[in-house]
Amino acid sequence: MSAGTGLDAALAAELERFAARGRVLVALDFDGVLAPIVDEPSAARALPASAAALERLVATTDVALVSGRALDDLRACAQPPAGVVLVGGHGTQSSLDGAGGGTALSAERAALLERLGAELDALAAGREGVHVERKPMSAVLHTRRAAREVAAEATALALAGPGALPGVHALRGKEVVELGAVQLGKGGGLRRLREALSAAGAPVEAVLFAGDDVTDEDAFAALSPAAGDVTVKVGEGETAAALRVGSPQDVAELLTHLARLRGR
């Protein structure tokens, strides 16, 4: 552990280097990173220590939340401090693009999205604990509250059925299958955000991204630790991230320490 913190020494050293740079971006997934995973997604809230750290950090640093949630849903649950950019829908929406956060679907893509929702509805019908969520660019099958065998069956059917339709981009996360009528991916959303921020001012020299889900691997792959970016996996599982912490409580400590370093 690093002296004065409960952080791993390697992570603490990376944070020191990162904090010493000029303009940097701290990008974070919400569920499982700032907020513990809960059975009812609408009840998720950032840990108080993380919320307080973001308040301090945004005064010196570009901060973004990059989530699979739709933008309005993310805004309602995260309740972010002023100045925090929101990227929702797995990179398809951004608060930098105005209230709606993105562009409208073409008629063809809108019809595809309607079909995806209908087919997932039919798949969820009669399967206890399985439900469908509509987003502006995708439809999502949730299985967290289902029995394990029911969840596995519903997941397999979603991927093999509507998930295999032409033009559909399928993402499998923790207890969810998200089917996009457009290309989905946090990596692309993170790249676009970095470019937009750099175009509006000084270049973003480095990015720190922390995520817990398999859908965050796309964002890890879009960054370069060799070039100064910092990638942090939260929790267990295989990952392309260079560093790891165990829980949202550890993320709160990471952010508190980083806010202190950037405030110097």
Active-site positions read 29
Question: What string of H, E and C letters represents the secondary structure of 231-264?
Answer: EEEECCCCCCCCEEECCHHHHHHHHHHHHHHHCC
Give me 47's structure tokens: 């840990």
Helix (H) or strand (E) holding 206: strand 206-211
Paired tokens of 7: 């952080």
User: Which residues does 7 contact at the CB level (< 8 Å), separation at least 6?
Assistant: 1, 15, 245, 250, 253, 254, 257
